[in-house]
Amino acid sequence: MKAIVKKKRTRGMEFVEVPAPRVGLKDVLIKVKVASICGTDVHIFDWTRWAQHRFLPPRIIGHEFVGNVIKIGDEVTQVKIGDRVSAESHLTCGYCYQCNNGYSEVCKNFKLLGVDHDGTFAEFLVLPEHVLWKNDSHIPDEWATIQEPFGNAVDTVLAEDVSAKTVLILGAGPIGLFATGIAKACGASLIIISDPNDYRLAIGKKMGAHSIINPRKQDVVQTALEVTRDSGIDVVLEFSGNNQALNQGLKAITPGGRISILGIYERRVHIDLNKDVIFKKIRIYGITGRKIFSTWYKTSRFLSSGLVDPSPVITHQFSLKDYEKGMKLMKDGRCGKVILKM
Ligand code: NAD
Ligand code: ZN
């Protein structure tokens, strides 16, 4: 089969022919239809510091996808041949303290698809049945593939209620843009989105933001205070992974408000804990992965019901062999979500 393999501990990847994977007793063989590129894949392509410490070549990359089940192991009971599936990218162990206590998104032994287990940028993929998600037939393939990052956005937005609240979204990458649509669907009364990338801010408008801010041209905190008549923002959602943006969020938030943080920071962050957190009595939520599978149900319903239309975020499509074009667009930020068709 054809696959995109990270072979060497240097920049780049290879589009090559590799043997199709073997199916174990509890495994399922999937023919991938559509996959999508995540920032993690770009880190692995570029061989950044994170990738050098985390990734062991050779490995097929990618963790977002939709495909059809074409073969099942003898002990598989929950899926059948022909099912159209996507998957939770955290391959959880199912027996650690976290898995046993309803926190499998922070499973102690999880393996990450496309990092610790051969990934989705291939014609075929093998996964254990317990991580599979059967797709709603109303969701097109181009949307089904983005459910994994959409789920990140769902948990970040819905860590608490947002209805009739004022929301500041920091970072208009694909996940911040999905969050914009979700906050809108959940009845946020005002949504402001901040990003230095004007191309992405324009998509933010289409996703329902009332107001867009380019932090290189405008003062984020001052604007947030102005539009809330000095009250400050009820809900800050951090998707930039930028320390300066995080501090803007902490300054803009109203005392007693909450911030949910999904963004991942390259370095240790600096914040004024006394002034901006403790004396403001704000609630901070660290968000990682998705609730398995409660977030997948919410994601599926947001998309199948029409509550959120993610199509403005899905800006580019390429065939698998042209993946490098997608990687380049992602690096330049001249895109929303890039999908790859087999
Ligand atoms: P992305 O890199 O595509 O988007 C980040 C955006 O932040 C970019 O558009 C960038 O222009 C913008 N940005 C940079 N500096 C900014 C600033 N000062 N103010 C406002 N915006 C700024 O990432 P994504 O795929 O949308 O993911 C969002 C974040 O969530 C990333 O940091 C990613 O690493 C992280 N992430 C975390 C998890 C998790 O489980 N915790 C999962 C997926 C992604
Ligand atoms: Zn576990």
Is 158 a domain residue? Answer: yes
> Separation of 23 CA from ligand 1 center, angstroms?
35
Q: Is residue 301 part of a domain?
A: no
Ligand nearest to the CA of 100: 2
Share of the chain above pLDDT 90, in %: 100
Query: Residues 14, 129: one domain?
Result: yes
Distance (angstroms) between ligand 2 centre and the Cα of 22 equals 24
List, for residues 236-253, the tens digit of each pLDDT value. Answer: 999 999 999 999 999 999
Instruction: Give the pLDDT confidence score for residue 50 in this predicted structure.
Output: 95
The tens digit of pLDDT for each residue in 57-78 reads 999 999 999 999 999 999 999 9
Q: Are 135 and 229 in a shared domain?
A: no
- pLDDT value at position 26? 97
* Interior/surface letters 65-94, b for 16+ CB within 10 angstroms, e for the rest: bbbebeebbeebeebeeebbbbbbbbbbee
**Ligand 1 neighbours by CB, cut-off 6 Å:** 39, 152, 170-176, 194-197, 200, 215, 239-242, 244-245, 262-264, 287-289, 333
Enumerate the β-bridge partners of residue 170. Answer: 194, 238
pLDDT tens digit sequence for 105-131: 999 999 999 999 999 999 999 999 999
Residues 71 and 86 occupy one common structural domain: yes
Query: Considering the domain boundaries, does residue 223 fall inside one?
Result: yes
Task: Assess whether 138 carries a catalytic annotation.
Answer: no
- Specify the pTM: 0.98
The enclosing domain of 200 has a CATH number of 3.40.50.720
pLDDT on residue 204: 98
User: Looking at residue 51, what is its pLDDT?
Assistant: 97
Q: In which band, very low, low, confident or very high, does the pLDDT at 235 lie, cut at 50, 70 and 90?
A: very high
Based on the fold, state whether residues 175 and 132 are members of the same structural domain: no
Confidence class for position 325, pLDDT limits 50, 70, 90:
very high
Q: Are residues 183 and 122 in the same domain?
A: no
Task: Report yes or no on 296 lying in a domain.
Answer: no
* Tokens 């014609």, residue located: 123
Q: Whole-angstrom Cα distance, residue 270 to residue 300?
A: 37
Residues 91-110, mean pLDDT to the nearest whole number: 98
Residue 129 in domain: yes
Residues 126 and 173 in one domain: no
Within a domain: 29 = yes
pLDDT score of 183: 99
Residue 304 maps to a domain: no
Phi and psi torsions of 281, nearest 5°: 50, 45
158 and 219 inside one domain: yes
> Same domain, yes or no, for 132 and 9?
yes
Known catalytic residue at 295: no
| 81 in the same domain as 11 | yes
Same domain, 119 and 243: no
Q: Any bridge partners for residue 328, and if so which?
A: none
Q: What is the pLDDT of residues 13-27, one digit of tens each?
A: 999 999 999 999 999
Average pLDDT along the chain: 98
194 and 122 within one domain: no
Q: What is the pLDDT of residue 101?
A: 98
102 Cα: distance to centroid of ligand 1 (angstroms): 27
Per the structure, the count of domains in the chain is: 2
Residues 236 and 134 reside in one and the same domain: no
pLDDT of amino acid 164: 98
Task: Give the domain-ending residue among 240, 271, 286.
Answer: 286
Give me the CATH number covering residue 315.
Answer: 3.90.180.10
Containing structural domain, residue 251: 153-286
